[in-house]
Amino acid sequence: MEEKLKMSCIDCGAVACDGSGKPFPDFCVTKDLSEEEIRQVIDLYRNDEENLRIMTAAAEVELEHYCQYTRLQEIMEFAKKIGATRLGIATCVGLLQESRLLARILRANGFEVFGAGCKTGCVKKTDLGLDPKHEGTGSHTCNPILQAKVLAKFHTQLNIVMGLCVGHDSLFYKYSEAPVTTLVAKDRVTGHNPIAALHVSHSYYKKKLYPEQPEEEKGCCCKKE
């Protein structure tokens, strides 16, 4: 039987790992790491040229433009700092209009841009062995692995995810040969602003997100008037 997961960073209110000097909680993940584990990871940053290049560029973007640049501006600046001049866009076909705008902006800033839509290849869901019931939302499947391979074919140096479905994005990240960053995370309900669900999880979305509630917490402002 697998060991039950204990408390971790997501349960922490101290954030002592930021160098503030505050005491670490007893369950602290950092506290449980050995010096050898930490050293091995540091070596991956210091001794791998690509890792160091990416971390340096990310640190410079943060230092120079903290709370000033939008994420789109940060992506362009990051691309410049890692020497990526040919960018790939892995887009949901439902966001082609937004991806065209993105490409226009990137090209105006001197980048070469190549995009691959999620339906690339026109593959049917049943061709993958999926049950025909999944054709209820369309007969042709999203194809994130092929998206990654198409962008690799055109030698993109940094790929940008534009609203790929949950799980499809996982496969794209897995198979992309170039580093990947995300501009849009798909959320059809919130207009692609997934953090909105967290902001109202204690009120309007409580019934949607929590399977069970104590009797005294039911209703609240979620109650129909």
- pTM for this model (two decimals): 0.89
Q: Tens of pLDDT along 123-179?
A: 999 988 888 898 888 888 999 999 999 999 999 999 999 999 999 999 999 999 999
> Which of 183, 119, 171, 121 has its CA nearest to residue 145?
171
Other CB atoms within a 10 A radius of the CB of residue 118 amount to 26
Contacts of 90 (CB under 8 A, 6+ apart): 115, 116, 118, 144, 147, 148, 151, 159, 160, 161, 162, 164, 172, 176, 180
pLDDT at residue number 1: 55
Q: How many Å apart are CA 121 and CA 150, to the nearest integer?
A: 10
Q: How many Å apart are CA 192 and CA 202, to the nearest integer?
A: 20
pLDDT at residue number 20: 86
pLDDT at residue number 223: 47
Residue ranges of the chain with pLDDT lower than 70?
A: 1-2, 213-225
- Give residue 6's Cα distance to chain centre: 25
> For 26-76, what is the HEC assignment?
CCCHHHHCCHHHHHHHHHHHHHCHHHHHHHHHHHHHHHHHCCCCCHHHHHH
